Chains A and B, each alone.
Chain A
Amino acid sequence: MIALIFRDLRIAVRAGGGFGLSLAFFFIIVIFFPFAIGPDLHLLSKVAPGTLWVGALLACLLSLERIFALDFEDGTLDLMVTSPLPLEGVVISKAIVHWLTTGLPLVFLTPFLGVLLGLQNSNVIFLIISLIFGTPALSIIGTFGAALTAGMKRGGLLLSILVLPLYIPTLIFGAEAARRGIQGFETQTSILLLSGVTLLSWAILPFAAASVLRINLR
């Protein structure tokens, strides 16, 4: 599993690996938003948590198709299924790599982009916490979606349609936690529910994704 994680990380950072794609997309969304809304700082800081969360979610969605498509096309997936590596382990590794190359960099980028949206420094911490707890769920749910559409050429549209409804709980609780934190309310309930969704996804979806992959490989 560790070998697979390192290999995929290496591929991701090489040319054409798609590492920067989600980040650039996130960056663009958050930069363009203030232009579109106008310079009203009060309004901007009010919509900031929602904007950052939707931006993170869409950026995440953008890179999902690559998770299995490349390995499927060049036959690596066939070979991995016949190797001693359990397929559930492959799924978990892929999701971890997706999170390390998408979710985690987004979290690091948030403090800087928060400034553009008029967020005060003391409030950015709530966004960071909600993103740290929420983005792993986006990665594993997305990996499951990618497994569902693995055999398809240009399965991106179907993948988005399948995955978006599953993202909604994470989006609601994540944005809610950030919003409540910024407005000075207690955030514990939202954070707990957010983490609950994340943990549940990581517990169940690797098995679901692995069995879906087995069917897709036939």
Chain B
Amino acid sequence: MAISIESLSVSRGGVNLLQGVDIELENGQAGILRGPNGVGKTTLLRALAGLQPVESGTIKCSLEDICYSGHADGVKPTLTVQENLEFWANIFGSPSIREVAEKFMIIELLNTKVGNLSAGQKRRVGLARLGLTGRQVWLLDEPTVSLDETSVKIFGNIIKDHLSEDGCALIATHIDLGLENSAQIIDLLEFQSNSGDLSSSNEAFL
């Protein structure tokens, strides 16, 4: 089992968003989170990544296996693509950035400053970090924002490669990544909480 979530409840800003979320993903399986804006996709992914506390429920997955990618790319505009990737490669102890750069089609951009890239190219640099982490469980929050059609297709294939290497991915997206046949579609509307404000939440004091 790559990741298993049981009756998870998460809240944001003192409002309980999702309740009783059950998700189970095997190695080699992808899960796609669907749901309207504000339903709690990002909050759920951040909670799984350990960035925010959960209200209740259990997550069975080691934080060491998780790689989170959010709305922001986390790349520095004044550094070149290569310097950005080398930094993450050093942090995660992965050997070569060239292979990953080739995979994500940014090999010819390596010596360009990130500040001079287009939004889509910058996104690809941000996503290339995934390949450097060597981690099994990818948590992706709207990974395809500002990617063009070809890049989306390529990224879909990268995810498929990752899955075939026994990886696993949980993706919040509105776009068809070409994974829909094999992936588990999770509609978060089912888990939407109706309790509204949390009187027991202590978030206000933190």
A83 and B92 in contact (CB under 8 A), knowing A14-B79, A78-B51, A215-B206? Answer: yes
Query: What is the CB-to-nearest-CB distance from B107 to chain A, in angstroms, rounded to a whole number?
Result: 21
Q: Are B78 and A78 in contact (CB under 8 A)?
A: no
Could you say which of B49, B66, B87 has the most chain A C-beta atoms within 10 Å of its C-beta?
B87
What residues of chain A lie closer than 8 Å to B66, measured between beta carbons?
A: 82
Q: Are B91 and A4 in contact (CB under 8 A)?
A: yes
Q: Are A82 and B74 in contact (CB under 8 A)?
A: no
What residues of chain B lie closer than 8 Å to A78, measured between beta carbons?
A: 46, 49, 51, 68, 70, 72, 74
Q: Are A84 and B74 in contact (CB under 8 A)?
A: no
A85 within 8 A of B: yes
Q: Are B68 and A14 in contact (CB under 8 A)?
A: no
Q: Are A84 and B93 in contact (CB under 8 A)?
A: yes
What residues of chain B lie closer than 8 Å to A84, measured between beta carbons?
A: 64, 91-93
B176-206 interface mask toward A, CB cutoff 8 Å, 1 = contact, 0 = none?
0000000000000000000000000001001
What residues of chain A lie closer than 8 Å to B120, measured between beta carbons?
A: none
Q: Are B78 and A3 in contact (CB under 8 A)?
A: no
B119 within 8 A of A: no
Count chain A residues whose beta carbon lies closer than 8 angstroms to a beta carbon of B.
Answer: 25
A76-116 interface mask toward B, CB cutoff 8 Å, 1 = contact, 0 = none?
10111111110000000000000000000000000000000
What residues of chain B lie closer than 8 Å to A83, measured between beta carbons?
A: 88, 91-92, 133
What residues of chain A lie closer than 8 Å to B68, measured between beta carbons?
A: 78-79, 82
Q: In the complex the two chains form, what is the Cα distance from A118 to B89 in whole Å?
A: 51
A1-28 interface mask toward B, CB cutoff 8 Å, 1 = contact, 0 = none?
0111001001100111100000000000
Q: In the complex the two chains form, what is the Cα distance from A84 to B134 in whole Å?
A: 12
Query: What is the CB-to-nearest-CB distance from B9 to chain A, in angstroms, rounded to a whole number?
Result: 15
Q: In the complex the two chains form, what is the Cα distance from A218 to B43 in whole Å?
A: 9
Query: What is the CB-to-nearest-CB distance from B201 to chain A, in angstroms, rounded to a whole number?
Result: 12
Q: In the complex the two chains form, what is the Cα distance from A14 to B68 in whole Å?
A: 28
Binding site for A on B (CB under 8 A): 46, 49-53, 63-64, 66-76, 78-79, 83, 86-88, 90-93, 129, 133, 203, 206
27 A/B residue pairs, CB under 8 Å, sorted by A: A3-B86, A4-B91, A7-B79, A10-B79, A11-B76, A11-B78, A14-B78, A14-B79, A73-B72, A75-B70, A75-B71, A75-B73, A76-B72, A78-B46, A78-B49, A78-B51, A78-B68, A79-B69, A81-B50, A82-B49, A82-B50, A82-B51, A82-B67, A84-B91, A217-B52, A218-B52, A218-B206
A-B residue pairs, 6 tightest by C-beta? A75-B72, A3-B90, A76-B74, A14-B78, A75-B74, A218-B52
Q: Known pairs A3-B87, A4-B87, A82-B63. 7 more at Cβ < 8 A? A: A3-B91, A75-B70, A75-B72, A79-B88, A82-B49, A82-B66, A84-B64
